[in-house]
Structure 1
Amino acid sequence: MYDLIDRAEWRSHKHRVAELLPNLKDAVYDADDLLDEFKWYVLNVKVEGNGSQSLSRDFFDSVIQGSFIKSVNGIRDRLDNISNRLLSMGLHEVTTRFDKSVRPETSSFPNETKIFGRDMELKKIIEFLCKPRNSNSANTKRQKGNSAVDVSTSTSASNQVNSESSISDLIVLPIVGIGGVGKTTLAQHVCSDTQVKSHFDLIIWVCVSDDFDVKRLTKEAIESCPGKQATTENLNSLQNILSDIASSKKFLIVLDDMWDDVLKDNGKSWKTFCAPLKNVLHGSAVLVTTRCQKIITT
């Protein structure tokens, strides 16, 4: 079902799929809750039962013969109904990893000349990225924390930009929302804003998607810089090049459509990608668009 959710999000720009996607997620989350309840029953028997027949009988009555099995059947019916409707729309194909023919490559240039209902979010992001910041000093400590702009709904952002997530002097701001709500378009309009262009020496745009390949992303970041080439396949050499760029120019890196695979192995890939960005010019920033609420980078 989680694979089906991934495939549905890829097609969420289609109206019928977008209508069914929340129902599918609700059913899957209910199934997860039910599994957690079952695991609790099993653990309770193991910890407190000590072979007690009465507790085992209570477990059997509650889980197998009680309301639990009715809930199982109800959720299974919901999942079968929704998944069959989605599969009839052609969502039976295996999800392809980052493939430009399936998921077209984006750029910093807006496809839409105007955006509607996002003026507040756009203003907040621009103000946040371009606001003056005091440099680190012996008497000045920058506050570190988590911040995100939630664009899941058409209303103003539910999470206002109120704190900073940082890697050394590098500020990281995620734009979070389900597929198709305009995260990429919002990021494109940020990049094309005159205030943003004048604030940053360099704007780098990289498509991430579900393949957080550190070497690929580092090469694309380098090649986004005028006059720079990334011909080597050696990660250390590539990171040295990116580090030199980061230390000489105040930049904005946009990581478009970052998926939760970046969280694997305790965020090892993310940390590796950011390693050359430890000593950046003050005011540099990373803007991330993502569907995953957990990707609030620190």
Structure 2
Amino acid sequence: MAVVGIFVSPLLKAVINKLLSSDLIDLARQGGVDTSIKKLKKSFEDINDVLADAEEKQISDRAVNKWLKELQHLAYDADDVLDEFATEALRKKLIRAETDADVDVGEASTCRKVRRFLLSTCCKAMPYHLISFDFAIGSKIKKINGQLQDVTTRIKELGLIKKAIGGTHKPTNAWPRRETTYLLDDPFVCGRDEDKKRIVELLLRDTPTQNKVDVIPITGMGGIGKTTLAQLIYDDDGVKNHFDLKAWVCVSEEFDVKTITKS
């Protein structure tokens, strides 16, 4: 069974950014869970330090792949809890605004209607009508922290180390390759109709192939228009209508599978 690559970096970065939110820090302090939040942040930051190494090793090491799956689930759980925190912060802000509002009568009436709607929506979404928010959220964070502790203790066991994202450093004397995009510099291109037609037919065929992912290379010496041909195919109406999702990724001289996959 093939090991599927998992990339948790963007998710973990989003969670860490939420943990740095001043609104969340204030709410955590008010609820008496600021220590737990700090612990959560520290654990995710420690894990983030070795994440590049883990994402690279997971293809050849099933234990690392399993570790990343556990981390992914925990990161999603933490993200959900932090969203609940954000909702509660909004609810408290609206309550303060309702109390402190000092506007004219007509505007006050409209504002109150909007706030009441938001307050009722927030409250309906919160599962804390029977128990206090602070206790419930504290319990959830404590549980995630406990599970994260197990994940972090296995970092040494798996031999994960701090590693710069992108693999090896590029030599200082290397000439940077020009970045390409799917946008045509000149919309009027002549002499490529037949080549374009043949490749588009390959892309749009419905007959199954033995490969899970088909690769159609366009090869040739520099300057003959390989990129232009790819741009014409990418912008073809038939291709646009056939595929729900398309992506254009520029591969640099420093070939790194993990970085390209993330892009």
What TM-score bracket applies, with the shorter chain setting the length?
0.3 to 0.5
Which structure: greater strand fraction?
Answer: 1
Q: Which has the higher contact order (CA 8 A, sep 6+)?
A: 2
Question: What's the TM-score once normalised by structure 2's chain length?
Answer: 0.33
Larger of the two Rg values belongs to structure: 2
